[in-house]
């Protein structure tokens, strides 16, 4: 393998641990070469351009391409090792998820379809991915991926066959992907059982996500829209209301004053409201969800400057301080920052293959490159310019 000065042994140790799950020696060799190229290569991250990262020979492009698109390796054990490495070397506090919209031309890239981007309101031709993170100390580490299918990919069996998409992937919603990974993480002995921090404000099945996580008995800190329905209990018949309407009843809420540092070094008081009691989740109409009477706390944070609408969270952490809940809630902002770095530095927009396994292979390698860069403490700019 190529060297990179003083960090050669650190990188080699990391690769030996993460890629031990690959059975064939040649797979491990190409995995190490691909990871090296992701970390050290500049510009677009395709096999052809990555092979230009010295000291890889230009002929390596074929081997890199085959490793990603044709080699039959299972990405799940590699991701599990990646998650365990993060858990062992940090103090993770939460799981969180961010959406990644990958613009594409044409209709042949795996999973590509037209949808409205909720961030811009524009219709885009894209792949839609979910990135799963372990959050620790203001950092988020990407450890798993899901590709959300849509359009003809759910109905066209021949298209799925050509892209080597398992039949079990058809029709899966984002809520299905999140709850399935939560179940997988909870069942894995090497992964920590942590709260799930989610932004459900644009989710069209927020109730389904909450119901799925409730079945896993997973704690949550979920940002929700003001029109999200909850149930008030303690009466003969539960009463449905929205969190926005609930928190407008002044006598039903408690005010907590948090202190925040200002840019000039001063301190300003920030009021945060909580509902005085607890609520339960309202099931989806006709869904048959049995979420029991799980209690949630409602947290409202008004905009300190009064220029933006208030934000709302539901959390099962009813015995935690409000400061702790909001600190966990910030994990999602860290995940969005990590997605921006993945886009800019580690090639998650650059996969050109058409197969489902190839897409997952490339995203797994991008995660490994990002995690190594963060765990090693080397800034991305230094890695990009490291002398081979």
Helix ranges, the chain (H)? 8-18, 25-40, 47-50, 60-69, 75-89, 157-162, 174-187, 206-215, 243-247, 322-329, 331-345, 356-376, 380-384
Strands 239-242 and 229-232: antiparallel
CA of residue 295 relative to chain centroid, distance? 26
52-56, 155-159, 375-379: segment of lowest average pLDDT: 375-379
Neighbour-count burial of 125, counting CB atoms closer than 10 A to its CB (0-12 exposed, 13-18 middle, 19+ buried): middle
Higher pLDDT: 239 or 3? It is: 239
Listed in order, strand segments (DSSP E) in 225-310 are 229-232, 239-242, 253-261, 267-275, 280-281, 297-301
How far apart, in whole angstroms, are the C-alpha atoms of residue 348 and residue 98? 14
Q: How confident is the model at residue 300 (pLDDT cuts 50, 70, 90)?
A: very high
Per-domain residue ranges of the chain:
5-195+334-384, 199-316
83-87, 234-238, 295-299, 317-321: segment of lowest average pLDDT: 234-238
Predicted confidence (pLDDT) per residue in 8-33, tens digit: 678 899 999 999 999 899 999 999 99
Check residue 260 and give its pLDDT.
78
Check residue 270 and give its pLDDT.
86
Answer yes or no: is pLDDT of 388 > 60. Answer: no
Check residue 121 and give its pLDDT.
82
Check residue 362 and give its pLDDT.
98
Answer yes or no: is pLDDT of 380 > 70. Answer: no
Answer yes or no: is pLDDT of 78 > 90. Answer: yes
356-376 and 25-40 helices cross at what angle (nearest 10)? Answer: 60
CA of residue 132 relative to chain centroid, distance? 3
Check residue 85 and give its pLDDT.
95
For the residues 31-44, what does the mean pLDDT come to? Answer: 91
Higher pLDDT: 183 or 7? It is: 183
How far apart, in whole angstroms, are the C-alpha atoms of residue 354 and residue 107? 10
Answer yes or no: is pLDDT of 100 > 60. Answer: yes
Check residue 115 and give its pLDDT.
86
Answer yes or no: is pLDDT of 290 > 70. Answer: no
Check residue 283 and give its pLDDT.
78
Q: How confident is the model at residue 55 (pLDDT cuts 50, 70, 90)?
A: confident
Residue 130's DSSP bridge partners are 99, 146
Answer yes or no: is pLDDT of 272 > 60. Answer: yes
Instruction: Tokens for 53, please give them.
Output: 């990262």
Q: How confident is the model at residue 267 (pLDDT cuts 50, 70, 90)?
A: confident
Match 């015995």 to its residue by tokens. Answer: 319
Q: How confident is the model at residue 127 (pLDDT cuts 50, 70, 90)?
A: very high
Answer yes or no: is pLDDT of 291 > 80. Answer: no
Check residue 235 and give its pLDDT.
67
Answer yes or no: is pLDDT of 124 > 60. Answer: yes
Cβ atoms 98, 332 nearer than 8 A: yes
Contacts 24+ apart (CB under 8 A), 28-32: 30/63, 30/64, 30/66, 30/67, 30/71, 31/67, 31/78, 31/365, 32/1
Answer yes or no: is pLDDT of 96 > 50. Answer: yes
Answer yes or no: is pLDDT of 323 > 90. Answer: yes
Check residue 266 and give its pLDDT.
81
Mean pLDDT rounded to a whole number for the chain:
88
């Amino acid at each position: 393998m190529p060297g990179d000065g003083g960090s050669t042994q650190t990188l080699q140790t990391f690769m030996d641990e993460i890629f031990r799950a690959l059975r064939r020696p040649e797979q491990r060799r190409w995995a190490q070469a691909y990871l090296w190229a992701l970390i050290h290569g500049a510009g677009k991250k395709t096999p052809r351009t990555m092979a230009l990262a010295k000291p890889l020979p230009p002929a390596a492009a074929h081997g890199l391409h085959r490793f990603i698109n044709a080699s039959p390796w299972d990405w799940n054990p590699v991701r599990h090792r990646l998650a365990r490495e993060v858990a062992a070397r940090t103090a993770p506090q939460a799981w969180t998820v961010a959406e990644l919209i990958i613009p594409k031309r044409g209709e042949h890239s795996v999973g590509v379809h037209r949808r409205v981007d909720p961030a811009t309101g524009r219709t885009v031709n894209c792949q839609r991915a979910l990135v799963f993170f372990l959050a620790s100390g203001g950092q988020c580490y990407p450890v798993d991926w899901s590709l959300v299918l849509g359009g003809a990919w759910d109905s066209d069996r021949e298209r799925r066959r050509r892209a080597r998409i398992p039949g079990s992937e058809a029709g899966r919603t984002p809520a299905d992907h999140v709850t399935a990974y939560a179940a997988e993480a909870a069942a894995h002995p090497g992964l920590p059982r942590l709260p799930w921090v989610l932004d459900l404000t644009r989710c069209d099945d927020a109730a389904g996500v909450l119901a799925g996580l409730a079945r896993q008995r997973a704690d949550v800190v979920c940002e929700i829209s003001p029109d999200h329905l909850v149930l008030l209990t303690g009466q003969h018949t539960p009463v449905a209301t929205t969190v926005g309407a609930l928190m407008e009843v002044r006598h039903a809420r408690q005010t907590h004053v948090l202190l925040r540092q200002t840019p000039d070094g001063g301190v300003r008081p920030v009021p945060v409201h909580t509902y005085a009691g607890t609520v339960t989740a309202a099931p989806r109409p006709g869904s048959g969800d049995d979420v029991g009477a799980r209690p949630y706390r409602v947290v409202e944070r008004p905009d300190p400057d009064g220029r933006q609408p208030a934000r709302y969270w539901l959390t099962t952490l009813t015995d935690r301080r409000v400061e702790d809940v909001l600190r966990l809630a910030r994990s999602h902002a860290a995940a969005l920052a990590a997605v921006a770095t993945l886009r800019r530095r580690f090639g998650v927009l650059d996969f050109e293959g058409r197969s489902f396994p190839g897409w997952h292979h490339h995203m797994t390698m991008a995660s490994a490159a990002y995690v190594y860069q963060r765990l090693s403490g080397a800034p991305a700019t230094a890695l990009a310019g490291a002398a081979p």
